[in-house]
């Protein structure tokens, strides 16, 4: 306790003001997003290019979701995010980009009609889940894995109301799912029912069908 008090006492004014910057990001996000229609958050690689298989699928999914009246939320960057936003805005839907300010790769794509810029990853992650009725996870890297496993953990531990977590692309996710089944489940690191938290599909239409038929 004494050490904790010392750390607090030594907190610099600049460090203290960071609390208000964090609060401001929460306020900005909530005020901007609170009036959204039912939303689906889509994750995936920022490195996917137009013409790639999953870019095309993400664009199709954005179109289908907008046609069903869903808002499409992405991280606002290039790649899969751009594709999903492009499909949604092209279909006349709400297309949201929750952009993170980074020194590389991330730049707000031009296909959003609602967007918020974030400095802090954890504030942005709260906004992703707060307004989503489903997560759709396309192939991606560390950031995509982070969002996937955080959602699984929150649902597993009852910190978040269960909703569809849908992986797209068995050729990409197959190896990971084999490891989850053979190693994590096989060595009792998760329970059999934890395996049912997510679903694997291979087409945008399957994603829409799952979301439409799921009551959350």
3-state secondary structure the chain: CHHHHHHHHCCCHHHHHHHHHHHHHHHHHHHHHCCCCCEEEEECCCCCCCCCHHHHHHHHHHHHHHHCCCEEEECCCCCHHHHHHHHHHHCCCCEEEEEECCCCCCCCCCCCCEEEEECCHHHHHHHHHHCEEEEEECCCCHHHHHHHHHHHHHHHCCCCCCCCEEEECHHHHHHHHHHHHHHHHCCCCCCHHHHHHEEEECCHHHHHHHHHCCCC
Question: Tell me, what's the pLDDT at 14?
Answer: 74
Distance CA 169, CA 137 (A): 9
Question: Tell me, what's the pLDDT at 105?
Answer: 54
pTM of the entire predicted model: 0.89
Question: Tell me, what's the pLDDT at 216?
Answer: 55
Determine the longest span between alpha carbons in the chain, in angstroms. Answer: 59
With 0-12 / 13-18 / 19 or more C-beta atoms within 10 angstroms meaning exposed / middle / buried, residue 116 is buried
Question: Tell me, what's the pLDDT at 2?
Answer: 47
pLDDT in tens, 160-200: 999 999 999 999 999 999 999 999 999 999 999 999 999 99
Question: Tell me, what's the pLDDT at 6?
Answer: 41
Question: Tell me, what's the pLDDT at 7?
Answer: 45
Which residues are within 8 A (CB) of 170 and not within 5 positions of it... i.e. 6 or more apart?
Answer: 200, 202
Question: Tell me, what's the pLDDT at 4?
Answer: 47
Question: Tell me, what's the pLDDT at 102?
Answer: 74
Question: Tell me, what's the pLDDT at 151?
Answer: 96
**Distances 142 to 46, 130, 137, 150, 210 between C-alpha atoms, Å:** 11, 22, 12, 12, 26
CATH 3.40.50.450 is held by the domain 2-212: yes
Do 110 and 90 meet the contact criterion of CB atoms below 8 Å apart?
A: no
Question: Tell me, what's the pLDDT at 11?
Answer: 56
- In this prediction, the residues of the chain whose per-residue pLDDT falls under 70 are 1-13, 104-106, 215-216
Question: Tell me, what's the pLDDT at 129?
Answer: 93
Residue appearing with tokens 């750390």? 7
Question: Tell me, what's the pLDDT at 37?
Answer: 85
Question: Tell me, what's the pLDDT at 195?
Answer: 95
Distance CA 184, CA 205 (A): 30
111 φ/ψ angles, rounded to the nearest 5 degrees? -110, 30
Residue among 104, 168, 110, 130 nearest 30 (CA): 130
């Amino acid at each position: 306790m004494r050490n904790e008090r010392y750390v607090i006492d030594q907190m610099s004014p600049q460090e203290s003001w960071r609390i208000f910057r964090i609060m401001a990001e929460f306020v900005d996000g909530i005020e901007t997003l609170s009036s959204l229609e039912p939303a689906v958050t889509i994750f995936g690689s920022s490195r996917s290019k137009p013409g790639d298989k999953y870019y095309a699928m993400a664009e199709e999914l954005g179109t289908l979701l907008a046609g069903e009246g869903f808002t499409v939320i992405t991280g606002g960057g290039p790649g899969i995010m751009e594709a999903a936003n492009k499909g949604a805005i092209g279909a006349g839907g709400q297309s949201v980009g929750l952009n993170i300010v980074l020194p590389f790769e991330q730049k707000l794509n031009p296909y959003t009609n609602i967007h918020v810029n974030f400095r802090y990853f954890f504030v942005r992650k709260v906004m992703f889940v707060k307004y989503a009725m489903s997560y759709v996870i396309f192939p991606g890297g560390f950031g995509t894995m982070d969002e996937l496993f955080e959602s699984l953990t929150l649902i597993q531990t009852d910190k978040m109301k269960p909703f569809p977590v849908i992986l797209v692309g068995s050729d990409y996710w197959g190896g990971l799912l084999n490891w989850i089944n053979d190693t994590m489940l096989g060595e009792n690191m998760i329970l059999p029912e934890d395996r049912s938290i997510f679903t694997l599909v291979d087409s945008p239409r399957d994603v829409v069908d799952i979301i439409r038929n799921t009551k959350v």
